[in-house]
Structure 1
């Protein structure tokens, strides 16, 4: 999201990635790149998920926001729809025969027919919209705060919330989300880290450190072109990550880093 830089400094000051005195350290995972795929370097990635052999992606920036269906292996956009004019596209999720796209500050989500990408409805919500994911029974929505909203996938009514903490400290700037093996993976905006969140407790149970994944010399705007976008292929246990205007999407395997004394 193209948010003011000051917000990032506030957020980073509010959360520590290291253990507090007397607290058990949160495990840290590194990564191994399994495969690198092409990604549209003009796509300001806000939402991403994998379904039926394709990536579905929502991109941001006013006047440039889109919903896309993308071939994983080639990066080819096989289906695309521009978000209604004036809206800043954010997270995206699939529910039944529908796609739902958040908007950043406008307080409205657009509902599309998944097959045709035709706009068929929408609903309103308070506050900002940052990202979506879902499990079999719920939709999860981030808004930049430490609270993840829980929505009903049919009515889109809010049914609960998850207050996210890392070693007891509220975790801010929770951005793009993905449901992976019973956990919520969350990009932390303006960092190279993904939080692994236990949805039952809201506790961060692991950090994924993706420092060095993308060659920053290939990025035009280091302040905006940050890590954002997580997709999981549950059938083949494949985890994909990318970033805003990144020319590559990476399939990665997690590697547990040794515990530091």
Structure 2
């Protein structure tokens, strides 16, 4: 039923994305990419959150009855550790903070705190609205909720310290899905598109787009729900990874210089 709802809403979501993003694509710089390596990825994983830490990938998966948090060996895709989350809830984004792993749910307005090493439950927290994705900048936990608003949370209380509205050429950008802090910017998948936004965390302004069109999974229409969703960054190795829901690969990429750069 949930997948059917996604598919029924697909045209409406794409139309909304085009309204938010389409007119500005000719103005903002657009970067391409080169694939440096490809690693196996579980095609059963409906990827909602992704980050890289201490040599492994941490991933959260969604769908009611199939949501989980997991630790994955990058080289061969082997799931080293996993824990199913509440089967009545749809799992969403994850982030690490001070020995914990925090996870969101989509429409239940509740998040969970887990021990990062053991995945043992340590508590829960509440938030208003939907939960889509999490990342952190070393000072704040950053949360997306599907709207143009990003929330910056106090890591101790998980209360909203400030918000920023994401805009492209002054127009709000919706459907900010999985997010990642990379070199002082927030990278955000735009749901059901092949675009990643490069966001200024101070102003919310989109500085440019990364166009992931050309990856094999972006060219296939066999599963309309298997969209680009998952960004992870290895800071020590300066490596950027992307994947998607039910994709067979995690790709390590480098970015090409931008086209039509802003003067």
What is the TM-score normalised by the length of structure 2? 0.93
Contact 1:14 1:169 (C-alpha < 8 Å) held by counterparts: no
Q: Distance in 1 between matches of 2:11 and 2:161?
A: 32
What is the CA deviation profile of residues 188-224 of structure 1, one whole-angstrom value per residue up to 9, with x for unaligned ones? 0000000000001100001000001124577741x21
What is aligned with 1:142? 144
Task: Select 1:179's aligned residue among 178, 181, 184.
Answer: 181
Once residues 106 and 212 of structure 2 are traced to their aligned partners in structure 1, the CA distance between those partners, rounded to angstroms, is 25
**Over the residues paired in the alignment, what is the CA RMSD in angstroms?**
1.8
The equivalent residue for 2:54 is: 52
Query: Are the counterparts in 2 of residues 98 and 112 from structure 1 also a CA contact under 8 Å?
Result: yes
2:191 is matched with which residue?
189
1:11 maps to: 16
Taking the aligned partners of 2:220 and 2:203, their CA distance within structure 1 comes to: 39
Q: Which residue pairs with 2:203 in the alignment?
A: 201
- Please state how far the C-alpha of 1:25 moved relative to its aligned partner: 2.1
Deviation at 1:162, TM superposition (A): 1.0
C-alpha displacement at 1:7, in angstroms? Answer: 4.2
- 1:254 is aligned to 255
2:213–2:219: 8 Å Cα contact kept in structure 1?
no
Q: Deviations over 1:54-81 (max 9, x none)?
A: 1000000000000000001111100000
Q: Quick one: which of 138, 151, 157 aligns to 2:159? A: 157
Name whichever of 166-175 and 210-219 sits farther off.
210-219
CA–CA separation in structure 2 for the residues paired with 1:18 and 1:236: 36
Which residues of structure 2 form unaligned runs of 5+? none
CA distance in 1, matches of 2:27, 2:220: 34
- Tell me which residue corresponds to 1:66: 68
Shift of 1:85: 2.0
Structure 1 gap segments, 5+ residues each: none
More helix by share: 2
Number of equivalences = 256
Structure 1 residue matching 2:14: 3-state secondary structure = helix
> d(CA) in 2 for partners of 1:97 and 1:81?
17
* 1:16/1:215 CA distance change after superposition, 3 Å: closer
TM-superposition CA deviations, 1:138-162 (whole Å, max 9, x none): 0110010000011011211111101
Q: Does 1:76 align with 2:81?
A: no
Distance 1:123 1:92 in 2: 13
Q: Equivalent residue for 1:226?
A: 227
Task: Sort the Cα spacing of 1:97 and 1:171 in 2 relative to 1 into closer, same or farther, 3 A.
Answer: same
TM-superposed CA distance for 1:12, in Å, is: 1.9
* CA deviations over 1:79-138 (Å, ceiling 9, x no partner): 000011201000000011110110000000011111110111010111100000001100
Which moved further from structure 2: 227-236 or 251-260? 251-260
> Which shifted more, 39-48 or 251-260?
251-260
**Following the alignment from structure 2 to structure 1, what is the Cα–Cα distance between the partners of residues 18 and 179?**
22
Partner SS state of residue 106, structure 1: coil
Counterpart in 1 of 2:238? 237
